[in-house]
Structure 1
Amino acid sequence: MWSGSRAGRLLETPLSIWAVSDDKAGNAAPALGLAEAVAALRPAQVQTRTVHWKGVTGRLPWHLHPFPLATLKAGTGIAPPWPDIWIAAGRATLPLSLRMRRWSGGRTLVVQVQNPRAPHRAFDLIVAPRHDQIAGPNVLAITGSPHRVTLARLAEAAGRFEGVMGDLPHPRAALLVGGKSKVHDLSDTCARDLAASIREAVLSAGGSVMVTFSRRTPASARRLMTAALSDLPGFIWDGEGENPYFALLAMADVILVTEDSANMATEAASTGRPVLFLPMDGGSPKFQRLQEDLISRGSARRFAGRLEIFPGAPLDETRRAAEAILATLDRRSV
């Protein structure tokens, strides 16, 4: 239990929050998005920390990593004084997260995003996707993943890209394309078929398409889809210049997203726009559960060859997780 003076300091001065991850976007964005959501509810200073390990250390499982501070690469900034709240995502952060309460003398609230596959008792709170099906007294299950999508960020992005996409005809379809993962793939055949059906849907609706690819999109799939869609009214990001991702979410009437990414699905659903899932090669029960969750909420449907415009159900799970973090912090400070 914290002292009254400690509780008073937390209320009077900005919280120190670290968003900790490796260099993977799928981990960095949820950690930072959740940290920013906490800061939107209570004054805080948010800083990012990126974990980089020396040599082959990063490939070791957490229980074979006895001296993590000694094996961090220089320049990570992971050193005392420790923050009030540590929000981490990704396997690379586990050797640090598991020890943070001991290192800080219990002063740092330790939050792990995603399923840590490690003893739950080491964390104050685990914010885990509901489709991972983990439970416990310190587990908060949410639909999808925390993210950085907010109304303010969308409006700002739309303003910056108004000159590029502002005159595109409606309905505007944002196309978010993922790629190869452990359980999904985007083969040339799949990419060709998807592009053909999306092209027909956009032409039939008299609309336009706004496309962004991920770093996991195979180069051949990118070329095939770009060739098939490039003569439609629209915008296809070539990877150069500012990333238009938030602008696409903001300016779309409907969002088409490949089924391989929990982050993209959650971010799309958070906008309140209708979301259509695009099939890929492969799949898993875990991703199927997420899709069914969003469909049952009214946020999404499966793409059936047309641009369906239906009232979306905005998802606000990041704020709910941020509220849970502050509630946990406040209980400890009493």
Structure 2
Amino acid sequence: MDGTSGHNRQSCWIVTDGSAGMENQCIGLAEALDLDFTVKRIVTTRPWRWLPPQLWLNPLHRLDASGDLLTPPWPDVLITCGRQAIPMSLAIKKANGEKTVTIHIQTPNCKASEFDIVIVPEHDRLRGPNVLVSLGSLGRVTPERLQVEGEKFADAVADLPRPLVAVLVGGSNRCYDMNADVIRDLAARLKSLHEEAGCSFLVTTSRRTGAENEAILEAYLAGLPHQLWTGDGANPYFGYLALADALIVTADSVNMVCEACTLGKPVHIFELPGGNRKFNYFHKSMQDKGYTRPFRGKLETWSYPPLQETRRIAAEVADIIAARTRGG
């Protein structure tokens, strides 16, 4: 994936292991900075992938050919996310004589001073002179994208009764368990919500949802006004965000919650078994600031200023890069 080419735009590489959540944060930042970016999805080799970055020897030679290789010419700006990309960032910085501006998203497993800029969510504890703190994660939702995507999918949902409720479904991860019983509970609550409010559902699943959970959702939604996207055809995710009157988001994804909150619409969180200190802090912070409320089986109405963290962080990053450029 490449950014749109243009004159006098700085070149940028986005380097991750291909995880959607990591990659989307990097792309969101690159788009907000108007960089001419190229996405690089790397596959690291054993045993190096298990070692801390300071123990890697010749990191750029520890990439498997099944992924992207990293060779000159080096980019003006390098945005990385995830531990596998950290040794690559350090190596490229050195190979390019410190000329590449290195930006890492999420807390690294090395000193933050190894990068020019580190961006962490508020619920991470890392702080420092080159550390920028965002409320939650970065993303790709912009008013312009929502308008385009909303227009693209408007006809497809025109016959569905209002209110339209977007349901963003994630899946199990290291902190949360979304098993069949949990998805049945969610699906049953959606059915009851329709019976009470007469609403329609715009449902999207993720890579982590799993075929069994998707089948359960499909069975429960049968006979209800809805659309269910599980990966086939054009992705309506941004269109659903734009067209929804309210949203229900599973608690396992900081990215989905933050993207939903860029709209200024009611965002209800469907709580899951599990959690940890970081997730608990994040969800409490979002509720305390008025962005989200727990989903209790009813649609609630409230408003708040849309969350625009990607735009805010990008402005800070742009100032740092500009100051660095002026300083030579």
Does residue 143 in structure 1 map to residue 135 in structure 2?
A: yes
2:180 aligned partner: 188
2:43 aligned partner: 52
Shift of 1:55: 5.1
Shift of 1:36: 0.6
Alignment partners' CA distance in 2, 1:217 and 1:197? 18
2:14 aligned partner: 19
Alignment partners' CA distance in 1, 2:168 and 2:78? 31
Does residue 295 in structure 1 map to residue 290 in structure 2?
A: no
2:204 aligned partner: 212
Alignment partners' CA distance in 2, 1:77 and 1:322? 27
1:158 aligned partner: 150
Alignment partners' CA distance in 2, 1:63 and 1:313? 42
Alignment partners' CA distance in 2, 1:258 and 1:49? 29
- 2:165 is paired with a residue whose SS is strand
Tell me the amino acid that sits aligned with residue 280 of structure 1.
L
How does the TM-score come out when normalised to structure 2?
0.92
For structure 1, the 5+ residue unaligned runs are 1-11
Shift of 1:31: 0.7
Check the 8 A contact 2:28/2:140 in 1, yes or no: yes
2:3 aligned partner: none
1:35 aligned partner: 30
Tell me the amino acid that sits aligned with residue 328 of structure 1.
I
What are the residue-to-residue correspondences of 1:134-283 with 2, within 5 Å?
134-283=126-275
Work out the number of aligned pairs and report it: 319
Alignment partners' CA distance in 2, 1:301 and 1:330? 39
Alignment partners' CA distance in 2, 1:60 and 1:238? 36
- 1:87 is paired with a residue whose SS is strand
Shift of 1:56: 4.9
Does residue 97 in structure 1 map to residue 89 in structure 2?
A: yes
Check the 8 A contact 1:68/1:95 in 2, yes or no: yes
Moved more, 76-85 or 274-283: 76-85
Tell me the amino acid that sits aligned with residue 22 of structure 1.
D
Shift of 1:169: 1.4
- 1:94 is paired with a residue whose SS is helix
For structure 2, the 5+ residue unaligned runs are 1-6
What are the residue-to-residue correspondences of 1:58-137 with 2, within 5 Å?
58-74=49-65, 76-137=68-129
Deviations 1:125-179 (A, max 9, x none): 1110111121111111101111111111112112221222122211111001111
Check the 8 A contact 2:168/2:248 in 1, yes or no: yes
Moved more, 48-57 or 153-162: 48-57
Alignment partners' CA distance in 2, 1:94 and 1:184? 26
Alignment partners' CA distance in 1, 2:109 and 2:124? 11
Deviations 1:241-300 (A, max 9, x none): 111111111111111000000111111111222111001111112111111222222211
Alignment partners' CA distance in 2, 1:87 and 1:301? 33
Alignment partners' CA distance in 1, 2:321 and 2:41? 24
- 1:53 is paired with a residue whose SS is coil
- Structure having greater relative contact order (Cα 8 Å, sep ≥ 6): 1
How does the TM-score come out when normalised to structure 1?
0.91
What are the residue-to-residue correspondences of 1:289-328 with 2, within 5 Å?
289-328=281-320
Check the 8 A contact 1:18/1:35 in 2, yes or no: no
- State, as a whole percentage, how many aligned pairs show the same letter: 38
2:4 aligned partner: none
Tell me the amino acid that sits aligned with residue 234 of structure 2.
E
Alignment partners' CA distance in 1, 2:230 and 2:285? 33
- 2:123 is paired with a residue whose SS is helix
Alignment partners' CA distance in 2, 1:13 and 1:193? 53
Alignment partners' CA distance in 1, 2:177 and 2:310? 28
Alpha-carbon RMSD = 1.7
Alignment partners' CA distance in 2, 1:288 and 1:49? 32
